[in-house]
Chain A
Amino acid sequence: MATTQTPPATGSVKAGGKHSGGSGGGRFQTDRAKAERKLGLKLAAPAAIVMLAVTAYPIGYALYLSLFRYDLRTPDQNAFVGFDNYALILTSSVWWQAVLSTTVITVVSVALELVLGLALALVMHRALSLRRSVRVAILVPYGIITVISAYAFAFAVAPDTGFIGDGDPLGSRLGGWAVIILTEVWKTTPFMSLLLLAGLASVDESLQEAAKVDGATATQRLFRVTLPNMKGAILVALLFRALDAFRIFDTVYVQTAGAFETQTISGLGYNALITRVNLGLGSAISILLFLFIILIAFIFVKGFKTNLGTVKGEG
């Protein structure tokens, strides 16, 4: 629907304000405002309650569990242990392997996605031939189930069913990382490129024309005009993808199951929580992952001065 109308200018969208257009006097306005507040709260309540019930409460519970020895296989030994679980994790090499693995996969795949996504966005922005077909094709990786794409790439490189000669890339750490990253990049670059495309389209064309008139080459225009002007879109795309990549679980589970030191933090947490039903230790891993995610978001928001509110449209 939004495709049919021209949106109003940025400032004017400041939500709520535009509705206040009534004719009544002051008294009427306040009554009305009061009613509006009530209705707003009522309408927002169900969503807020569901979201809080299934995230805030469990994360609090996880925090609580992480301070206990709490193993479902030895329920009679459950006891408060303070920060012992955290100490155990932070001194374990398995944990640091997982942190390294998760970081490598996140950094490399997001970097590749940015470059590739930008190239894709530029082609989609300019290419008029096959426009619709390209848009449809690019949504296929986005729409495909992550587990399925993980299988597709695992089968393609497998020594028996594969198409890529002998050898088993998934049988080593570097090979495993490479295949996992390849799968991630394939699956999520389209999403990145769509975000970048929207950013690209918001760059004022007249800037391009002006640069062209001034004799800038295509490369200069890309790096000096286009990219700086879509910095916001790039940062948001990077932030979303970095946070998403850092939670990676499905692809690794399917392709290596964490073998050859390719395990990620999410995989480690899953193993402790669900496979070994050690809820105390697993919860401590969960909390640490949660802190990492907050840290990444913080770095982006503060370090790059990304104002998510602005970028997300909340003036």
Chain B
Amino acid sequence: MTTTAIGGEQVGADAQAAHSTWAPTRRRHREAGRGPAWTIGALAIMAYALFPVAWIASLSLKGEGDIADGKLIPTKPTLDNYRTLFDSGEFVRPLINSIGISLITTVLAVVIASFAAYAIARLDFPGKSLLLTGALAIAMFPPVSIIGPLFNIWRSTGLYDTWPGLILPFLTFALPLAIWTLAAFFREIPFDLEQAAQVDGATPFQAFRKVILPLALPGVFTSAIIVFIFCWNDFLFSISLTSTDEARTVPAATAFFTASSNFINPTGQIAAAAIIVTVPIIIMVLVFQRRIVAGLTAGAVKG
């Protein structure tokens, strides 16, 4: 798995580096990659990716009277929907739940997965490939297959409609993701450096803290982003294992805006809620684009 932990960005750079011995080829690719056709292609991709976000942003800025005017650009932009949303009391608590539950799950998943991934990358122990295969199987597992039993068990153990009641299933499905990503990253760490540092007089702990940790952290961080996005996205567990705002997360809560507002069209509020939960993701994507791409493709493709 040579290319495993290499991000898309880096893959591109690698491909170019490979070309650098072939200067003419490289120049030809440069030219090819910068022509108007490629620019149009690039712009088309951006439009494809961003257009639905633009129209939902537009809906969120429309007032009661304009929401059905069918125009892409709001004629009288207003923040009314956002105000209603925060005043309604139906959104703030789910938002807190979403943030809290996703963050706690992310921290737990990354810590537990780091242990496992370190063992997979560095140690020889029985059941290693079983662990990897099992994790892969769980990643492909249909969540609907376990919501019934969980619903029943959670009701009798008091986990129903609580944060831990969501954190546990989230964790289970986040772990395979984190283990695969982290194992791919950890395998790329030159652990020999640790021994080198010890030969140079560092204590084992110093060697770990000053040499290995800095090399491992970016991978850990990348997995954290991917796990967070995964938790942030969940709908099925949240709608099945909660009944009140006690633990219900934003995606599930939006489904109930629809049901509870019979007289006013909730489209505006849903759109506003959509924008609020999407903005942090867009910021994360902007800042950590390279890491996310690296993490998503880590381990997925053989070199």
Contacts and interface: CB of A to CB of B under 8 A. Distances in A.
A200 to B, nearest CB: 8
B92 interface: no
Nearest to B195: A21
A124 to B, nearest CB: 7
A40 B148 contact: no
Contact of A2 (B71, B219, B296): B219
B278 A313 contact: no
Interface of A: 1-3, 5, 7-10, 13, 15-21, 33, 36-41, 43-44, 46-48, 50-55, 57-59, 61-62, 65, 120, 123-149, 151-153, 155-156, 158, 160-163, 186, 190-191, 194-195, 197-199, 201-202, 205, 209, 232-233, 236-237, 240, 243-244, 246-247, 249-250, 253-254, 265-266, 269-270, 273-274, 279, 282-283, 285-287, 289-290, 293, 297, 308-314
A40 B72 contact: no
29 contacts: A1-B5, A2-B7, A10-B2, A10-B303, A13-B187, A33-B124, A40-B128, A41-B119, A43-B118, A53-B172, A58-B145, A61-B152, A61-B153, A124-B45, A145-B232, A145-B274, A161-B267, A194-B293, A198-B297, A247-B143, A250-B235, A265-B144, A266-B142, A274-B147, A282-B148, A311-B301, A312-B180, A312-B299, A313-B1
A73 to B, nearest CB: 13
Contact of B148 (A9, A65, A186): A65
Most buried by B among A198, A265, A293: A198
A143 B271 contact: no
B79 interface: no
A139 B115 contact: no
A125 B131 CA distance: 34
Interface in B115-130: 115-116, 118-129
B68 A160 contact: yes
B202 to A, nearest CB: 17
B251 A148 contact: yes
B172 A286 contact: no
B45 A15 contact: no
Most buried by A among B41, B179, B267, B294: B41
A253 B116 CA distance: 36
B70 interface: yes
A120 B45 CA distance: 7
> Top 4 nearest A-B pairs by Cβ distance?
A40-B125, A313-B1, A2-B5, A128-B33
A58 B229 CA distance: 25
Contacts of B143: 247, 249
Contacts of A46: 112, 115-116
Interface string B1-21: 111111111111011001100
Contact of B285 (A128, A139, A198, A243): A139
A65 B149 CA distance: 8
B282 interface: yes
Given A139-B293, A236-B300, A151 B254 contact: yes
A199 B1 CA distance: 11
Contacts of A246: 142
Nearest to B113: A47
A184 to B, nearest CB: 13
A274 B43 CA distance: 44
A149 B52 contact: yes
B265 to A, nearest CB: 7
Given A54-B150, A62-B145, A62-B149, 15 more contacts: A1-B5, A7-B1, A40-B125, A41-B126, A47-B135, A51-B134, A55-B172, A155-B271, A160-B67, A163-B70, A195-B297, A244-B140, A253-B255, A286-B145, A312-B299
B278 A144 contact: yes
Contacts of B15: 125, 201, 205
Interface stretch (B53-61, B83-91, B203-211): B53-61
Contacts of B285: 136, 139-140, 143
Nearest to B152: A279
Nearest to B191: A19
B112 to A, nearest CB: 5
A309 B39 CA distance: 38
Contact of B289 (A8, A135, A279): A135
Question: How big is chain B's contact interface, by range?
Answer: 35 or more
A20 B38 CA distance: 49
Contacts of B82: none
Contact of B112 (A7, A36, A40, A50): A50
Nearest to B17: A6
A309 B121 CA distance: 15
A127 B115 contact: no
Contacts of B50: 137, 140
A126 B33 contact: yes
A53 B138 CA distance: 12
Interface string B169-187: 1011001100110011101
B146 interface: yes
Given A37-B125, A266-B142, A202 B302 contact: yes
A21 B192 contact: yes
A249 B132 CA distance: 27
A270 B144 contact: yes
A152 B297 contact: no
A270 B151 CA distance: 11
Contacts of A10: 1-2, 302-303
B300 A198 contact: yes
Contact of A232 (B6, B296, B301): B301
